[in-house]
Structure 1
Amino acid sequence: MFIVKTKDLEKEWNGKTIFKGVTMDVREGEKLALFGRNGAGKTTLLALLRGDEEPTGGTIQRFVPAESWGSLDQHPRVDGEQAAIDYVREADPRVAAAGAEQRAAERALRDAATPEAQAAAAERYGEALDAYATAGGYAWDAEVERALRQVGLQPETWERPFRSLSGGQQTRAGLARLVVRRPKALLLDEPTNHLDEETLRWLQAWIREYPGAVLVVSHDRTFLDAVVDRIVELTPDGAKSYKGNYAAFRERKELERKTQAALYRKQEQERESIEASIRMYQQWYLKASRDAAKAELGIMKPYYAARANKHTARYHAKEKELERLEQNRVEKPREADRLKVAFKEGAFEAKTLVQAENVAYRYENGGAAVFAGGSLAVHRGDKLAVVGPNGAGKTTLLRLLTGELMPTAGTIRRHPELRIGYFSQQLEHLRDEETLLDSLLRVPDMTESFARTILGCFLFRREDVFRRIGDLSMGERCRAAFLQLYFSGANLLLLDEPTNYLDIDTRERMEEALAAYPGALIAVSHDRYFLRAVASRVVSLSGGGGGWRVHEKTFAEYETDDPAPPPSPEARDRDAAIRLAELERTALMAKAELTDEDRARLFALTREIDALRGGRQ
């Protein structure tokens, strides 16, 4: 069964065509990803599919009503100071409305000043309680709280305004809303943004087990490898589908490139052969024509004329063959745009760049300890990955190494000739008022010609070089910040989430550049593909005020160092029982009206599931 189908879909924005000719479908139960460069229109296509925007051309056929779809947006629209838990409760508008009335009635009862007002408020409150119970509100509240815990959102954040949450916390709240709603199809726009490793693994498992269709936009290649079984590549001229995950997609794309290159070479050889034949028949025709003109015997003129006509016919036949070759022309494969980075480290010869011993850090005014007793030596050529749960202090460690923060205890010694290039999540070192070109012309001995060449290598072409940095998208700002590292002359790069907002092609170019970088680097990133490509050592932070561990192994080796043990038979039986109970509970909650027996069974199932989950801890 299809969920949605599109045919020749086209979208324009401010007179510019974003994409055209997009024909694709989403089938029930499948997990697929939209793939494309920044600006290809992936988020726009999601908006078209769920009906938030209208296409310029083409058709969309929905087999499941839009209200049965669930979405996770990069920038959700949330009213005012709405609490995170209320945002999740709103996944069921009927229950949310009954809950809002209950809370309003409770406030009215609390504020009633006269006996008459108290009696009226009490009656309203009683009716609101009954309506909330009839709507299944108490079971719904239990589901909401369970979902919030499931996605790792701590209870102390539930009543905070959604807008005040961090990016990762907002993503978790959005996922909890989808968990309780259980829509028939999911549209997920960058669902892994800001999530730590534990939550990422939970999300991957949840999507794999989710029975409905999932259409995801993500630049997280490990996530795509783990969850999708089809990739739809979006380009300005249409969409093409590939079976398999991201790794299979890359293999297929490379095979296509090699096949096209082979066909192009064969075509060019045929062209050279045909053109050589045309030149040869032209020469023979001219010779035969000259021989006919010079013939002294009249009897020889027809002979030479016939030869000239024969060569003319062959010449025209080859011209037709060349025309047919042009009509079926195979274009030369375009080489992928590359950033072409060549970092310059200089003549720095010291072995140790930074030495941290027994470092502790605690927030000011007696705040909580971030970590204590950590030691680390950063040597020339080191490539370190810093990993740990959100809030463990990864960014704090980078800021300590730069000297921006001072340790509460311990020492950090830096080599006198150390030059640090710091790529922060806030990109605060960029000058918004400068153009891209001006930002490079500040570099000593830089010429405009060379600056344009460098910007072109970083995918800023032609008139793009005159754009103000303040007017760039986040992905473009990240590229600009990374480009400035190229000229910084740093011998130690500290990179805090450098791949955020970058498309996959640009991430891969960055990985190639950093792998060849001769200096040292320390990277904090949730992009596991990126860390596998660049990191030769790992620093793991556990959080909770402890220290950190240094692992003398690559990130790929670190990932497989301590695999989780397989579940016991008892654990498998318990998980199966949980799934069966949840299925029965879902069926009950889907009923339009519940009998007293249904409510009793729903309450019993909730307690049973809680008990089973408690036994799994």
Structure 2
Amino acid sequence: MSRARGALTARSISKSFGDTIILDRISLFITPGSRIGVVGPNGIGKSTLLRVLAGLEPPDSGTLSLEPPSLAVAYLAQEPEAADRSGGEAARAQLETILTSDADVLLLDEPTNDLDFAGLELLERFIDRHRGGLVAVSHDRAFLERMTKIVEFESETRRVREYAGRWSTFAAERDRSHERHQGAYKQYVDERGRIQEQARTMRQWEERGYGQGRKKKKSKDVGKRFEKKLDRLERVEKPWSPWRLELDITPSRRAGDVVARLERAIVAREGFQLGPIDLEVRNGDRLVVLGRNGAGKTTLLKALLGEISLTDGRRWIGPGVALGELPQGAGVFAGDRALLDLFLTESGLAAGAARSLLAKFALGADHVRRASGSLSPGERSRATLALLAARGVNTLVLDEPTNHLDLEAIEQLESALEQYDGTVILVTHDRRFLDAFRATRTLEL
């Protein structure tokens, strides 16, 4: 258990990579009992902030101080992908590290990724007992409800805003703030348009000869008065419009009544056996597959997709079924081929259409030229979602789809799935996402 003494203070820290500002004059005060959740788009600088706080990277400017200097700070990075172990195994190893920590300040980067429900309960129980300070980068909204302060990285400025309270308090205030800004901007645009229209009317009067002599001078004076009105009008900047995940997946054709079937299916490998299992997925099902880490959820999905062979039993895919998968790992977007080249091959789209579609998923010119294998996990997830949209699949297979998406993309994916009328098979441990999914069937392994 933490000794719960002292504070970690960051004062006006800044950090750049090349010409890109990552952290811009950020200040944080982390005391015993602090529970600070850090949110923002992928790639905005959240992980860099934790590394700077941990002393692993120096800030370009600003100061970090420990009081007392012996304050123990523990940093837990996002678990890197490893070919020799599953996401669940990596998550269990990370959880063990957290649960045995006796640090005064914990800095956690996406600690809930790949944890099953039992692991989440253990983690949250530990967090509740921890007497020291905590800063956690997370996209898990249920986990963020345990925070007492939310720090949001703003997309447009790379500055941070602090909100007192848990996630739901932050989300409500964020939405109210956005509505106020939208309202103020509309009022500004309307008033500016009204003044400009009046000024145009006065100019038209002059052009038509309505102002001669003294009248003409009066008309010009009125025109100047309108110009001064515009100058005095308090300017309201247009609200920031971040990218929106435009997941418009229109099935290219309707599947038959039965989408897929497993009959007495067994998958056995390396000391693990799944099954025998009987499963029938019908058109329009919204099936969620639950189970602890290691129960075989991903194995079941791969068996349905035909990506692994059955040791025994039978797999059947119905006529007209167009399967689309969002896997946990890299999927097709791996290796040295440029993203655009690989996307063209996989989607069959023309180059212009492919660029436009990728841009809708925040994958612009600087992304499409990069090697697919160099993309971040979140960027690969967005590329895969773009590919699903291009293919017009009628059956979605989603394996922990929220793991590498930021909060805004997760909320937009929820909305897109709500409108999707195809079949969905889902594995997730994101409790809020699961609630929003509105499953019609549940399979527990």
Q: What TM-score results when the alignment is normalised by the length of structure 2?
A: 0.87
Alignment partner of 1:46: what SS? helix
Q: What letter is aligned with 2:228? A: K
1:350 matched to 2:226? The reply is no
Shift of the alpha carbon at 1:515?
2.8
Alignment partner of 1:278: what SS? helix
The residue number in structure 1 matching 2:170 is 249
1:458 matched to 2:366? The reply is no
**Pair 1:486–1:277, CA change in 2 (3 A):** closer
The residue number in structure 1 matching 2:378 is 475
Shift of the alpha carbon at 1:323?
1.5
Distance, in Å, in 1 between the alignment partners of 2:400 and 2:87 is 21
The residue number in structure 1 matching 2:404 is 501
Distance, in Å, in 1 between the alignment partners of 2:326 and 2:211 is 76
The residue number in structure 2 matching 1:384 is 287
The residue number in structure 1 matching 2:117 is 197
1:422 matched to 2:341? The reply is no
**Pair 1:383–1:24, CA change in 2 (3 A):** same
In the TM superposition, 1:212-291 aligns within 5 A as 212-225=132-145, 227-235=146-154, 236-279=157-200, 291=212
Distance, in Å, in 1 between the alignment partners of 2:216 and 2:27 is 54
Q: What letter is aligned with 1:189? A: D
Unmatched runs of 5 consecutive residues or more in structure 1: 77-160, 293-303, 542-547, 549-617
Task: Work out which of the residue numbers 223, 226, 232 in structure 2 matches 1:324.
Answer: 232
Unmatched runs of 5 consecutive residues or more in structure 2: none
**Pair 1:455–1:349, CA change in 2 (3 A):** closer
In the TM superposition, 1:528-607 aligns within 5 A as 528-541=431-444, 548=445
The residue number in structure 2 matching 1:104 is none
Q: Contact 1:46–1:187 at 8 Å: present in 2 too? A: yes
Deviates more, 1:240-249 or 1:314-323: 314-323
- Paired residues in the alignment total 436
Task: Work out which of the residue numbers 42, 45, 59 in structure 1 matches 2:46.
Answer: 42
**Pair 1:61–1:289, CA change in 2 (3 A):** farther
Task: Work out which of the residue numbers 501, 522, 525 in structure 1 matches 2:425.
Answer: 522
Distance, in Å, in 2 between the alignment partners of 1:395 and 1:337 is 30
**Higher share in helix:** 1
Task: Work out which of the residue numbers 75, 79, 100 in structure 2 matches 1:177.
Answer: 100
**Pair 1:37–1:288, CA change in 2 (3 A):** same
Distance, in Å, in 1 between the alignment partners of 2:379 and 2:261 is 34
The residue number in structure 2 matching 1:334 is 240
Q: Contact 2:71–2:104 at 8 Å: present in 1 too? A: no
Shift of the alpha carbon at 1:473?
1.6
Highest relative contact order (Cα 8 Å, sep 6+), 1 or 2? 2
The residue number in structure 1 matching 2:26 is 22
1:9 matched to 2:3? The reply is no
Q: Contact 1:401–1:412 at 8 Å: present in 2 too? A: yes
Alignment partner of 1:193: what SS? coil
Shift of the alpha carbon at 1:224?
1.0
The residue number in structure 2 matching 1:105 is none
1:434 matched to 2:355? The reply is no
**1:423-470 deviation line (CA, Å, top 9, x unaligned):** 332334335233222233336762222111101101112343222212
Distance, in Å, in 2 between the alignment partners of 1:490 and 1:18 is 38
**Pair 1:241–1:64, CA change in 2 (3 A):** farther
**Pair 1:10–1:167, CA change in 2 (3 A):** same
Q: Contact 1:168–1:194 at 8 Å: present in 2 too? A: yes
Q: Contact 1:22–1:237 at 8 Å: present in 2 too? A: no
Shift of the alpha carbon at 1:415?
1.7
Q: Provide the alpha-carbon RMSD of the alignment.
A: 3.1
Q: Contact 2:23–2:45 at 8 Å: present in 1 too? A: yes
Shift of the alpha carbon at 1:503?
1.4
Task: Work out which of the residue numbers 488, 491, 506 in structure 1 matches 2:394.
Answer: 491
**Pair 1:165–1:37, CA change in 2 (3 A):** closer
In the TM superposition, 1:95-244 aligns within 5 A as 166-178=89-101, 181=102, 183-225=103-145, 227-235=146-154, 236-244=157-165
Alignment partner of 1:429: what SS? coil
Q: Contact 1:434–1:468 at 8 Å: present in 2 too? A: yes
Q: Contact 2:259–2:282 at 8 Å: present in 1 too? A: yes
Alignment partner of 1:316: what SS? helix
1:68 matched to 2:41? The reply is no
**1:8-57 deviation line (CA, Å, top 9, x unaligned):** 32111133211313234334312111111111111111122232222112
**Pair 1:170–1:66, CA change in 2 (3 A):** farther
Q: Quick check: which has more Rg, 1 or 2?
A: 1
